[in-house]
Every structure is written in structure tokens, then in C-alpha cells.
Structure 1
Amino acid sequence: MSVWSMLTGVLSPISEAYKSNQKRKQARESAQAKLSLAKVNNDYRLDLNDDEWEALSKQNEGGTWKDEYVTVIITSPFVLLFLASIASSISGDMTYLNAVNLGIENIKNLGVNLGDLMYVVVLAAVSIKGIGSIRK
């Protein structure tokens, strides 16, 4: 393996991240400009593309923590299962693990698919547009 290919392998993700960041920044600035122009012209219709809509929505979410709250709630059964496994292995008492397993079974009995919920949470954390792929 040559030094050039290793260097390219390291720099390529950095370059892609920079390009994505610049694209998001450009979309945000474009959306802000269109929004300001619409306010000046008293126009109630905005012609924004998907990237611009996403940039505006992300900008407005800056002060909220509802997404993080939902993520913690949805992922808590998995975290509890992990912690109960550790506690059970250290103490030798399977009560912790049995209690968490019973809780997860009760959630499943409610008709909730934890795998689908985890999928939605991960997609929502990555991007708003990702949730649309589930509906297709």
C-alpha cells in the first residue's frame, strides 16, 4: 500500500465533510436571503428547495432539546439491558437482567417494535429527510 493511497484514504472523508458543511452553509444562507426578500416584499409564498427547508428547520431547532429527549427515551431499554447485563455479571444475580427483559417484553406486548423505533431515531438524528425513506 503506497503512502499516497493511505493519505488519500485519510483526507477523503475530511474533504467530503468540508464539502457537505459548505453545501449546508450555502443552503442556509440562500434560505435566509429568500426569507428576508419575502418579508420585504410581503410575499407569503417561499420557493425553497429541500436543502434550504432543512437548513431553516435545523436553524430553528437550535434551542430545543426535544430530539435528544426522544432519543434518550427510545434508547433507554437498550441502555438498561446493557447495564443490567453488567450488574448481573458482576453480582451473579440475574434479577436485574430478568427485570429489564420483562420490561422489554411488556413494551413488545403493547405492539411497539423497538427495532423500527431505533431506526427512526437514528434517521432523525442524521437528517430530517431520512424519515421519508421509511414511508416509501
Structure 2
Amino acid sequence: VLRVPALYAAAFALPFPLLGVTPPDWLLRPVALLGQAAIPLLLLILGSQLKLHLRREHLRVSAGALATRLLLSPAIAAGLAWAFGFRAETAAVFVVQSAMPTAVFTIVLSLEFGADTDLLAGIVAYATLLSVVTLSVLIPLVN
């Protein structure tokens, strides 16, 4: 966790709004441009790592991860929304967000920390594809 640069950036930036300090335009514009480039760059990384082939030894782990992310997470979210008495609209958003596929950024983190990128890329790819089906069923249910 301590090797993630975003953690240090957030810690550095946190005092500024609390102190009412506004960064100058000459600094905000390039940072905003870099921020706008983040999603296309993540999609390029996903494309370069995308693997729709899972090795046999990854099948059990992948199936568990996919079932947890696409089926169990929304069920838990629905239970929490009910338990905490969320309004209908808030509960619907909460449940649908919990059913979204695994974020592409996890692949970047796996590359950074030396995790099994092939396994994770397969899970992200299949979660993205299968979420078309699961979200198509879930969204009408929460409405």
C-alpha cells in the first residue's frame, strides 16, 4: 500500500482545501489534462492485458471471483440497503454499483505489485463480459 503514489498525492493535497488554498491556473490545467487522460490510458492497459483465456488452474479461483463480484456483492448490498433503510433510489444505485465489473485499475496495481496479472486480466475481462448479462437482469429488478 505504501508503494502507491496516489496515497502520497492525496496526503499532500488534503490540507489545501481545508486551508482554503486554491492552486493557480497554470498548475490546475496540466493536472486536469493528465486526469482526463487517465481513463483512456487505463483502457489501453486493459486492452494490452486482456486475455479471454483462463488457464485450467485458474478456473476455480476465477469462478469464485466472478460469482462473488457479480452475484454475491449485489445480494450483500441489497441486504445492507434494506438493513439500513436506504431510500429506493439510493438502494438501487448502491446495488447496481456493487454489481459492476472489477475495475481496470486492479490490473495496473497487479503489474505494480507483481501479482498474477494473467489471472486478474482474465477475471476483469470475463467480469466485464458477464456483467452485460447480470446487469441486464439486475437493473429491471431494482427499478
The interval holding the TM-score normalised by the smaller chain is under 0.3
Q: TM-score, normalised by structure 2?
A: 0.26
